[in-house]
Amino acid sequence: MKIRSEIIGVGSHVPANIFTNFDLEKMMDTTDEWIQQRTGIVQRHWVDEATSTSDLAYEASLKAIANSGLLKTDIDMIIFATLSPDHEFPGTGCFLQAKLGIPEIAVLDIRQQCTGFLYALSIADKFILSGSHKNILIVGAEVHSKGLDKTPNGRNVAVLFGDGAGAVIVSAREMLNPSSDSRIISTHLFSDGSFAKELWLPAPGTALGADRINNKMLEQGLQYPQMNGKSVFVHATKRMAECLMTACKESKVDLNEIDLFLFHQANLRINSKVAEFLSISEDKVFNTIQNYGNTTAATIPIGMDDAIKAGVLKKGMLVASAAFGSGFTWASALWRF
């Protein structure tokens, strides 16, 4: 029997507290006008003090499992993508597993930042196609708000990021008709570590000397993300377009056949430029950044869930996803829903 990987359940969860750009104006040296013009962001959700990344992931996972029609005991692997873990170790997937109460299955934590969900999708696809696993829960979840520099030094980064979680269930199904079956058609993963310090969070880190973190590092703000925004912007536009073309070429799919583009959401202008460069009609690109900001590994599954709820993503559609972020890492996925 030939196997395919199908996304059979989707769910998402964002914390209740909304922070508009006007709220941020009161907290730091910024304006609604600057944020909207440069990024497209209108608001983001930020957690309260008590909520962690695995808490958000837990809510999204329950919804994805319910949406799939499976029982949580049917899940045989969890792949967790985050750059904002509950703790340094163990991986946040282990904390999620304990909350879900599904012991003795494989749990894998991955990084890959804004590209984390597409890397996870690719890994899940390969495990399913190998025949070793049947129902894999993928979660992308982030709590950025607890790790942002909200002083003037950090405003170029702090206004961009939001908290949230998105989850999908990828399951093994029999391949009946490769051209019409709902399935992951292809994934393409890339990285270039020579740009690692263009967007990074230095501390704590074993590369920093004996302490991993000390008061001097804290005073320097090394515990906050540092970004060369212009460099990230230029590379993101180029690489996202490039990896979409690779996906189409290698899967023998014409770009015009794609019904919907679910891109990572880092900046509305990045997505517009990618669409313009590839002559993709803007109404085929589903954007959510205005509501959530950049939720990194959670972005694409949150977008999937919102697109389904909005009636934009329907069963049988051919979908392309692309993402770019810290590493630099970038990736694309082609899938039929």
Binding segment (CB under 6 A) for ligand UT7, from list 26-34, 104-112, 186-194, 207-215:
26-34
Work out whether 159 is an interface residue with ligand UT7 (CB under 6 A): yes
Specify the pairing of strand 106-110 against strand 164-174: unpaired
Integer Rg of the chain from CA: 19
Measured in residues, the chain has a length of 337
**For residue 293, how many C-alpha atoms fall within 13 Å in the half-sphere facing its CB?**
24
294 is catalytic: yes
**Applying CB under 6 A, which of residues 30, 43, 92, 287 lies at the interface with ligand UT7?**
30
Specify the pairing of strand 318-325 against strand 329-336: antiparallel
114 is catalytic: yes
Residue closer to ligand UT7 (CB basis): 328 or 335: 328
Nearest partner of 40 among 13, 21, 58, 56, judged by Cα: 21
Q: CB of residue 121 vs ligand UT7: minimum separation in angstroms? A: 17
Q: CB of residue 308 vs ligand UT7: minimum separation in angstroms? A: 23
Token pair recorded at residue 170 = 């990828």
Which three-class secondary structure string do you get for 173-206?
EECCCCCCCCEEEEEEEEECHHHHHHEECCCCCH
Work out whether 233 is an interface residue with ligand UT7 (CB under 6 A): yes
Binding segment (CB under 6 A) for ligand UT7, from list 29-37, 62-70, 101-109, 120-128:
29-37
**Applying CB under 6 A, which of residues 114, 184, 217, 247 lies at the interface with ligand UT7?**
114
Per DSSP, the three-state class of 242 is: helix
**Applying CB under 6 A, which of residues 5, 54, 294, 332 lies at the interface with ligand UT7?**
294
Work out whether 67 is an interface residue with ligand UT7 (CB under 6 A): no
Which three-class secondary structure string do you get for 35-89?
HHHHHCCCEEECCCCCCCHHHHHHHHHHHHHHHHCCCHHHCCEEEEECCCCCCCC
Work out whether 267 is an interface residue with ligand UT7 (CB under 6 A): yes
Binding segment (CB under 6 A) for ligand UT7, from list 14-22, 123-131, 154-162, 249-257:
154-162
Interface size with ligand UT7, residues (CB under 6 A) = 19
Q: CB of residue 201 vs ligand UT7: minimum separation in angstroms? A: 12
| CA 72 – CA 54 distance, rounded (Å) | 16
| DSSP category for residue 96 | H
DSSP bridge pairs for 289: none
17 is catalytic: no
Residue closer to ligand UT7 (CB basis): 51 or 294: 294
Q: CB of residue 274 vs ligand UT7: minimum separation in angstroms? A: 12
Work out whether 287 is an interface residue with ligand UT7 (CB under 6 A): no
Residues making contact with ligand UT7 (CB under 6 A): 30-31, 34, 38-39, 114, 155-156, 159, 199, 229-230, 232-233, 236, 266-267, 294, 325
Active site residues: 114, 264, 294
